[in-house]
Amino acid sequence: MSARYRAVTAILSRRRTKDTTSAMGWASRRRQEQGSNARDHHVRRESRRPKEDLRLSERLVDLIAPYREDGVTPERYEMLIGAAATAWNLSLLSEAERPEALRQSFRRAKVRDVQGVAELIGTLMRRKEQLFPDDDRTIVSWEVSESGGQCHVTVASLVD
């Protein structure tokens, strides 16, 4: 089993902790606490950089652009980024490997609405192939954090 295949099947089952303040400095923690009561969580819009200069985290944000609405909750934003990361990695596999990798991911993550999530991931895979056909980095991990009422995405990847 390749590293890419393992990364794909593990991405949905990854457990994230809601408390991200333990690794923060005092200033970041204070900004987060001050912004935590805000009702509108600002999410970064599509990047203005040329496509070839985008970080992988920016590419994921661009990938989910049609699904974000104003005032999106941090939980929904995190779900969308998770679906985008899964779609990204699945798009790197051969057509024959994709269905089994998706089934394993769903099993590990205990996804309830399999059909709805599968449709979203399928759409995101097609979007990734249209927007970033030559980017073959594999996403190993990702994290969505919130600071000052804004969601931030961090991605770690492998380069083949």
Structure tokens at 63: 């990938």
pLDDT band at 41 (very low <50, low <70, confident <90, very high): very low
pLDDT band at 139 (very low <50, low <70, confident <90, very high): very high
pLDDT at residue 9 in the model: 54
What percent of the chain has a predicted confidence (pLDDT) above 70? 66
Burial of 73 (0-12, 13-18, 19+ CB in 10 A): exposed
The reported pTM is 0.69
**Model confidence pLDDT, tens digit, residues 54-109:** 789 999 999 999 988 777 888 889 999 999 999 999 999 999 999 999 988 888 87
